[in-house]
Structure 1
Amino acid sequence: MNKPIAREPVLEVKNLKVSFHVREGELQAVRGVDFHVDPGEVVGIVGESGCGKSVTAQTLMRLIPSPPSRIKSGSIRFLGEEILLKSEKEMRKLRGSKMGMIFQDPMTSLNPTLTVGSQIIENLTRHLNMNAAQAKKRAIEMLKLVGIPSAETRINQYPHEFSGGMRQRVMIAIALACDPALLIADEPTTALDVTIQAQILEVMKELRSRLKTSIILITHNLGIVAGICDRVIVMYGGQVVETGTVKELFTNPKHPYTEGLLKSVPRLDSRKEEPLIPIIGTPPDLVHPPAGCAFAPRCPYTMRICQRLDPGLLDCGGTQAARCWLNHEMAQEANA
């Protein structure tokens, strides 16, 4: 019997640490992040504002300005190559070709002085060496692929002539024009109403199914995660605090922060009117991060050991892991 062929991850991040030098000192935005993305997989990164998810995403493509930022340590291996060792020239070849990114606000991401067609065509001529006719044909195909009607006409229009949802579709078309192995979507539906959000997610689902592109979806919306993602990475205080499949995290969260996020979201599968329970307190000061668990001051289950030591990610069975002493077999004894 033939053994299944092991697939190498498209992306593998190990011990990534990113800091910013601010007036108060060193702000440790990302503190030892580890995760991977497999071929054709959709991985959601969730957490409240300031948890480090967007900084992590921009670091993957080396888009954060230095200074004030500094990548202190870690490894980012993409398709077997170390991203952190590449020059800026090499990164420019990689961005848009093998790695694509969709930003939060398409109006500020698109160039208002250029037609949407020219912005897609530029990507194709730069990375795929197409001539003008080939690139235009491909650009029209991409606009049709993301659901923009009358693509042959609209390719000559400017961003201000499109609605917010249509501009986001254009951004997806630009990001996917060169068939990247990895698409990073940073809050792609934040500025859109719920109807347009649903349409954008359907587009991403269809593209993932058709093109087999791996996707990192960064969001604070757990409903979006449930609808499109295979695995979830929960971040808090610049760290990964829980990871696992969508089913594992939604049915049996192992970190109190994940539990708190789920309790603060309205449920549509219950006929009872259940009050939403907010997470009391504020995020940690990352200029002076705590020695122990970053969530300890806000945690209803905190123990003495939580104040002193960081447990690291502990295996919780299956593919699930959580950065919480409650999952350690010796936790009660250590707390004594």
Structure 2
Amino acid sequence: MSEVLAYKPVLEVRDLRVSFHVREGEVQAVRGVDFHVNPGEVLGIVGESGCGKSVTAQTLMRLIPSPPSRIKSGSVRFLGEEVLLKSEKEMQQLRGSKMGMIFQDPMTSLNPTMTVGRQITENLKKHLKMSSAAAQKRAVEMLKLVGIPGAETRIHQYPHEFSGGMRQRVMIAIALSCDPALLIADEPTTALDVTIQAQILEVLNDLRGRLNTSIILITHNLGIVAGICDRVVVMYGGQVAETGTVKEIFNHPKHPYTEGLLKSLPRLDTSKDEPLIPIHGAPPDLVNPPTGCAFTPRCPYAMKICQRLDPGLIDCGGTQAARCWLNHPKVQEAKA
């Protein structure tokens, strides 16, 4: 853990731009994304489908295929080292050891022809050079750590013999087996019912506390973010729309898109007859992204300048920043 503490933050992403070349043209999936993750912190990345969340996550681990994708520019520094300059061989050593990932669907991510124990031990033998006996012992410990009962027996079972929630726990055990400094969880609870969702989040939170692992949690569910995350990055149209602590974002959203996401959530403190307010319209076409603010066509507060110029991230006080002209000092002065 001393290696982690030597660098703060654990991960720094600066001006990341990723495109996909398709028949229709260049899809600018990620357009100048900036964020960081501190040691032992849970960072939530939220936004609707197509906003660039998963592409960003897979780029961090260099998992997006090239072609059709291309990393156009940017920097991804992990533990002080530039990830984008590493060879594929170096990335293979990094993935699964210092950087782990949990994918959306454990049934398609786990190998159906191998026992779950073997899938954990192979990781340990490759990265930590453990003997078969030591790796087997560690595999049992990891299954117990993520709350799988009868771990000594279950390491000999195959993925189809586990429930959806248990398979996701196996994925977490594999990702954490080499004590990574960073765990990326890409929609880890999407295919699970709410009870199992709560259990998986409890496991992640518990492991964060015990192992001081930094976590990036990618989701479209703001309820999950409120329950486990320290800070939030709200993405829209391949860009960061807003960032701040959970308290800042939920109590005082500074971007109309964030405000819309919060208004579309059911709440316990409102009348059951009060309707949810959807965000009307559709996300921007990233083959031809707008020149100004990407949210302008759907924004109830849009001004003329929003169509012409992108405001960039504007400091809103504290740790909060939002990509919205409404937060510009001159606009605030005019409103006053």
Q: What is the TM-score of this pair, normalised by structure 1? A: 0.97
Residue identity opposite 1:297 in structure 2: P
The Cα RMSD (Å) is 1.5
Q: 2:135 matched to which residue of 1?
A: 135
Q: 2:162 corresponds to which residue?
A: 162
**How many residues are aligned here?**
331
Instruction: Name the CA distance, whole Å, in 1 between partners of 2:158 and 2:316.
Output: 51
Matched residue SS, 1:330: helix
Q: CA deviation at 1:118?
A: 0.1
Q: C-alpha deviations, 1:136-167, integer Å up to 9, x for none? A: 00000000000000000000000000000000
Report the equivalent of 1:14. Answer: 14
Q: Which runs of 4+ in 1 moved over 4 A?
A: 332-335
Alpha-carbon distance in structure 2 between the residues aligned to 1:232 and 1:308: 27
- Distance in 2 (CA, whole Å) between partners of 1:231 and 1:157 is 38
Instruction: Quote the Cα distance in structure 1 between the aligned partners of 2:25 and 2:272.
Output: 48
Query: Where does residue 187 of structure 1 map in the other structure?
Result: 187
Task: Give me the whole-angstrom Cα distance separating, in 1, the residues matched to 2:273 and 2:83.
Answer: 49
Q: What SS does structure 2 have at the residue aligned with 1:253?
A: coil
CA–CA distance in structure 1, aligned partners of residues 268 and 51 of structure 2:
27
Query: Post-superposition shift, 1:275?
Result: 1.1
The runs of 5 or more residues in structure 1 that have no matched partner are none
Q: How many angstroms apart in 2 are the aligned matches of 1:58 and 1:104?
A: 12
Alpha-carbon distance in structure 2 between the residues aligned to 1:32 and 1:299 = 21
Which residue of the partner structure matches residue 320 of structure 1?
A: 320
1:81 corresponds to which residue? 81
CA shift for structure 1 position 274: 2.2
Tell me how far 1:273 sits from its aligned partner. Answer: 3.6
Shift of 1:330: 1.9
8 Å contact kept, 2:7–2:79: no
Corresponding residue for 1:177? 177
Q: Which moved more, 1:310-319 or 1:325-334?
A: 325-334
Contact 2:231 2:246 in 1 (8 A): yes
The SS at the match of 2:190 is coil
1:148-198: CA deviation from partner (whole Å, max 9, x where unpaired): 000000000000000000000000000000000000000000000000000
- Is there any run of 5+ residues in structure 2 with no aligned partner, and where? none
Equivalent position amino acid for 1:111 in 2: N
Give 1:269-308 correspondences, 5 Å limit.
269-271=269-271, 273-308=273-308
Query: Does the 8 A contact of 2:47 with 2:53 survive in 1?
Result: yes
Question: Alignment partner of 2:329: what SS?
Answer: coil
Q: Tell whether the 8 Å contact from 2:325 to 2:331 is kept in structure 1 after alignment.
A: yes
Q: CA deviation at 1:271?
A: 4.8
In the alignment, which residue of structure 2 is the partner of 1:109?
A: 109
